Every structure is written in C-alpha cells, then in structure tokens.
Chains A and B, each alone.
Chain A
Amino acid sequence: MSDWLEATFAQQRPRAIAALTRVFRDIDTAEEAFADACLKALTVWSQDGAPRDPLAWLLTTARNAGLDQLRKSQRRAAILSRHTEAFQPMPAETPDPDEMRDDVLRLLFICCHPELDRRDQIAIALRIVVGLSVEEIASGFLVKPKTMEQRITRAKKKITSNPVAFETPNPAERGARLGEVSLMIYLMFNEGWSTSAGPAQMRLTLCEEAIRLSRLLVVLFPAMGEQAALLAFLLLQHARRRARMDADGKLVALDDQDRSLWDRANTSEATVLLQKAERIGHRGPYVIQAAIAAAHARAGSPTETDWAFIESHYAALYALQPTAVVRLNQIAAQAKLYGPHHALKAMEGLADDLATYRWYHAMRAGLLQDIGDHKAAIAAFETVLSLSPTTPERAAVAEKIDLSKKELGDM
C-alpha cells in the first residue's frame, strides 16, 4: 500500500510544504509537520481509504501536528511571539489557487538564495520542495552523501537566515520570482542532461524532477506562455534520452540519432504546450528555444530539418541573450545552410570567448573533417579531450579521431 500513498505524498509535497512554510514562517517546522501528517495518513488512509482531497487532509493534519511540535519545542516562544496572527484556525479546505500559487513560488524562490551557488540552489530545492533524500540528491550530483549532507545543511542555514517577504507579492515582484525560479528549473534539467565531467552523461532523476517542477509552474501559472514553453522545451530534450547514447555507452550526436527512439508522448505533449505558449503571444527566450527544439522533433531526418527556421530563431534568441554559446548554435545552423567553410570563418570570432568550451572545439573539429582538413580536425578533437569530457563523449571523440587518422593514412 505504501508505494501508492508515497506517490500521492510526493505529488502533494511542494504545495503542502509551501503552504505550511507560510503558516509557520519556518521551513524546518513545515517539513516536520508534513512528515508527521504523511505518517498519520499511512495508517488512516490504509484503513479508511484516501480522502477525495488529499491535500486538504494533509494540510489540516500537518498544521495540527506542527502546532503540537511547536508547543513542545524550544523554538516555540520565538516563533509564536513573532507571528501570533498566523495561528488563527486554518480552514479545512485547500488554500485558494492564488494564495497557493504565491506560496509555491515563494518556497522555490527562497531556495534561489542569491548567495548560494547554482548547484546548491538546485540541491536545496530537490531536498525541500521535491523531498528527495540526501542519498538521491548526492547520486544525482555524483558526490558522496556525506558531502551532500554538509552542503545541504550549509545551504539551509543560509536560506533560513534570509528573510523573504510572506506578504502577497506585487505583480513585478511575482514576475521577478517566476523568472528566477524558472531559470533554476532550467539549470536543474541541464545539470541532469549534461554532466560537466565523469562517467555518466545523463542523470535522469534531475531531468525528471525539473520536468515535474516545471509542470507545477504551468499548473499554477496557466496564462504564462514562457512557463508553458519551458516545459515544452524540457520535454522535447527529454524525449531524446533513449536515442542519445548507444548500446556501448557512446554519446550519439543529434544528426545520428535513431529518431524512432524519441519519446512520442513527450514530443506531442510539448507540441501542444508550445502551441499554447505561442497563442499567448509573448516570445521570450523559452518560447524561442522550444520552437527550435520542436523544429528538430518535427523533422523525420537531419536532411528534412528546417535549418533556415532554426537559424532565424537562434538569431532572435541572440538578440535577447547575446552570449557566445547562443551565437555558436546559430553558426551551427548556418553550417547546414551555407556549408562548413562559412561556419569555420564565422566561428573565428568566438575563439577567445569559448577557448575552454569543449563543444566549440568539437563542432570545429567536425567542420574541419567535413572540409577534409583531418590534421587540424585531430588537433581540435584532442583539445576536446583535454577539456575533461564525460566518458560517453570521450568514446565518441575517440571514434572520430580514428576516422580522421584513417583518412590521413589512406592519402
């Protein structure tokens, strides 16, 4: 029975912890109270069946459990004296959607403490909001549980000492929070999708949890096109997870992927979400990135890809986010349109900015192979190997170096 209930608890957790944090003005108390309520639910629901509104049940139970804890604890005096008004009887029904929306956003925003390293923001959000265990988070980040435990404890101290207003935010503040939280979720996915180095290429837990949080934002902010587009973008990337590595654990480039392995349920849901986002009208960076990913998903093969569409969208993205990496992606699309010579020339301007970015060298090496300059290609691939690629990337690069060496030998 507990598997089924755990799934419900996991689903309710972000909303419940968010609402309880507002009630108690204290994350630790909220987490303990929620854990108590889940424990009680295991017994009561197993006997009587799950209630029609599990969130309302959990919130009421957790609030009572939290008050009990406070009465017993040292913290009681301090917290009670600060917030007497917060302990008025809470209505049994779920908080109204507007309040819930601000609660969840606030909790995620608290995790995005500006003094925390991005990875620590992500780790603390996974611990508090999603409820992953320290072991699960540690394996997501490829560090020892002990190390992760210390990092989370430190991060928690920092976020609880930073006062974030509990009043309803004004629209500008809400917008700023939403932007910051969306970025954290985007980076959580990226962290899972491309590890910086090491044996694994993907850590699916991080990707899946980022998708869940992104989905939660879409539920809470249904009229925000950028958040629908962010979810669409993540789903379109995630759809390729099975095609991205071959049986030998080698990274497979987009052009070489078996597209029948792309997850159709993910791509079709993403297509609908992108249509919704585009209907809303605002073309922000997530809408543009989702449109690019959707153009890849639509194409049955690399040659059927609408590269002109992709190139123009990277140009639009560059206008919003003028970074060297965005420009590199634009040039990659130009390579398909105007050929490798054009692209190699265009890349020269990025050489300094992206000197330590291994995808720059990998792309350059591929283009050099295309024009038959295998000597230079091998040198560029060797630069990639010197920039600590992951094991699956290393395998793919080694294969390409062999190819160029063979070409040189044949000449």
Chain B
Amino acid sequence: MIYAITIYGEPGVFEALPKERQDEVMTGHGALQEALKARGEFVSMKLMPPTSAVMVEPAKIEGAAPLITDGPFADTKENFLGFYAADFKNLDEALKYAKMISSPIARLEVRPVAWAGGAISSE
C-alpha cells in the first residue's frame, strides 16, 4: 500500500528557528530520504511558500474559463508544506518512517493513497 506522509505547518516558522534547530529538522529529513532510497521508489516534495502560489478557481458561469486569482489570501493557520509518498508494508511501517521527521513545528498526516500514477504507481 502506498502511503502519503503529508506535512502541515506554518510557513516561515522553520526560517525563524535558530540554526542548530533547523539542522535538527533537516537531519530527520536526510535520514528519512536515505532510508526510503534504500528500500525503493519514493516521491518527496517541499513546496515553495504559499506567497508563490496562484489560484485557479472554478468558473462561476457554465462554459466560462476558470478564474485565475493571485491568492491564496492571508491565512495564518497551518499550511500544506510538502509530502513524501512510498510503498509501505502496513500502517505501522508508514508511521515508523513518519516519526523520523516529526518536530514541534510540523504536524504530519499519514494517509493511504487510493491511486497513484507517474514515478510511483499503485497499479
């Protein structure tokens, strides 16, 4: 089963950490990537800050083009920051790997993937 380990947190908090704490966080990510690399295919992504995003809103009128807006609008709550995805034996194994990147500035969600295509595929 492919599981996604998604990371939620507040953009900018990592940057506000002292260097040694940033290194602590990055050490966890480095270890997870090494461990995943050793077991096969995986995908991981870190998104740029939300300020770099543009929104494609569904058209308000049928048949019209979707609306491009320069959002997202200021939201101080948790944001989607990035994710990992890999094939795991079961939930326990996925959780074991997720714990490697747990830190006080991020909330992790471990969720099974219903379908995946591309670099890693569920088919």
Interface residues in chain A, defined as those with a beta carbon under 8 Å from any beta carbon in chain B: 1, 3-8, 10-12, 15, 50, 52-55, 94, 97, 100-101, 212, 215, 218-220, 222-223, 228, 231, 268-269, 272-273, 276, 279-280
Q: Can you offer 13 A-B residue contacts whose CB atoms are under 8 A?
A: A3-B18, A7-B16, A8-B105, A11-B12, A12-B76, A54-B76, A97-B74, A212-B12, A212-B16, A218-B51, A220-B74, A223-B70, A279-B68
Q: Which residues of B1-46 have CB atoms within 8 Å of chain A's CB atoms?
A: 10, 12-18, 21
How far does the Cβ of A375 sit from chain B's closest Cβ, in whole Å? 49
Interface residues in chain B, defined as those with a beta carbon under 8 Å from any beta carbon in chain A: 10, 12-18, 21, 48-52, 54, 68-78, 103-105
Contacts of A97 in B (CB 8 A): 73-75
Contact A4-B70, Cβ < 8 Å, known A11-B12, A212-B12, A269-B49: no
B51/A231 in contact, CB under 8 A: yes
- Which of A11, A54, A222 touches B72 (beta carbons < 8 Å)? A222
B51/A228 in contact, CB under 8 A: yes
A215/B54 in contact, CB under 8 A: no
B78/A269 in contact, CB under 8 A: no
- Which of A5, A53, A222, A279 touches B77 (beta carbons < 8 Å)? A53
Q: When chains A and B are docked, how far (Å) is the Cα of A231 from the Cα of B12?
A: 14
Please, which residue of chain B has its CB at the minimum distance from the CB of A228?
A: B51
B51/A222 in contact, CB under 8 A: yes
B104/A1 in contact, CB under 8 A: yes
Give the interface centre of A50, A222, A223, A231 by most chain B CB atoms within 10 Å: A222
- Which of A3, A94, A219, A269 touches B48 (beta carbons < 8 Å)? A269
Q: When chains A and B are docked, how far (Å) is the Cα of A132 from the Cα of B73?
A: 27
Q: When chains A and B are docked, how far (Å) is the Cα of A280 from the Cα of B69?
A: 9
Contact A94-B76, Cβ < 8 Å, known A7-B13, A231-B51: yes
A222/B78 in contact, CB under 8 A: no
A8/B13 in contact, CB under 8 A: yes
Tally of A-B Cβ pairs under 8 angstroms: 80
Contacts of A1 in B (CB 8 A): 104
A273/B52 in contact, CB under 8 A: yes
- Which of B18, B52, B104 touches A50 (beta carbons < 8 Å)? B104
Contacts of B73 in A (CB 8 A): 97, 222
B52/A269 in contact, CB under 8 A: yes
Contacts of A222 in B (CB 8 A): 51, 70-74
A7/B74 in contact, CB under 8 A: no
A101/B74 in contact, CB under 8 A: yes
How far does the Cβ of B39 sit from chain A's closest Cβ, in whole Å? 28
Contacts of B78 in A (CB 8 A): 52
- Which of B16, B21, B50, B68 touches A219 (beta carbons < 8 Å)? B50
Contacts of A228 in B (CB 8 A): 51
Contacts of B76 in A (CB 8 A): 12, 15, 53-55, 94, 100
A4/B49 in contact, CB under 8 A: no
Q: When chains A and B are docked, how far (Å) is the Cα of A222 from the Cα of B68?
A: 12
Q: When chains A and B are docked, how far (Å) is the Cα of A8 from the Cα of B10?
A: 8
Please, which residue of chain B has its CB at the minimum distance from the CB of A215?
A: B51
A3/B17 in contact, CB under 8 A: yes
Contacts of A280 in B (CB 8 A): 70
A219/B77 in contact, CB under 8 A: no
A10-B16, A222-B72 known; 11 new pairs, CB 8 Å cut-off, are A3-B18, A7-B13, A11-B12, A53-B76, A54-B10, A94-B76, A94-B77, A97-B74, A215-B51, A222-B51, A273-B52
How far does the Cβ of B103 sit from chain A's closest Cβ, in whole Å? 8
Contacts of A52 in B (CB 8 A): 77-78
Contacts of B49 in A (CB 8 A): 215, 269
Q: When chains A and B are docked, how far (Å) is the Cα of A10 from the Cα of B76?
A: 13
Contact A100-B77, Cβ < 8 Å, known A8-B105, A272-B48: no
A4/B54 in contact, CB under 8 A: no
Contacts of B50 in A (CB 8 A): 219
Contacts of A12 in B (CB 8 A): 76
Contact A7-B77, Cβ < 8 Å, known A222-B51, A222-B70, A276-B70: no
Q: When chains A and B are docked, how far (Å) is the Cα of A188 from the Cα of B39?
A: 48
Give the interface centre of B72, B73, B103 by most chain A CB atoms within 10 Å: B73
How far does the Cβ of A364 sit from chain B's closest Cβ, in whole Å? 40
Q: When chains A and B are docked, how far (Å) is the Cα of A228 from the Cα of B17?
A: 24
The 6 closest A-B pairs by CB, nearest first: A4-B104, A7-B16, A218-B51, A97-B74, A223-B70, A10-B16
Q: When chains A and B are docked, how far (Å) is the Cα of A3 from the Cα of B22?
A: 10
Contacts of A55 in B (CB 8 A): 76
Contacts of A54 in B (CB 8 A): 10, 76
How far does the Cβ of B88 sit from chain A's closest Cβ, in whole Å? 26
Contacts of B77 in A (CB 8 A): 52-53, 94
Please, which residue of chain A has its CB at the minimum distance from the CB of B54?
A: A276
B105/A4 in contact, CB under 8 A: yes
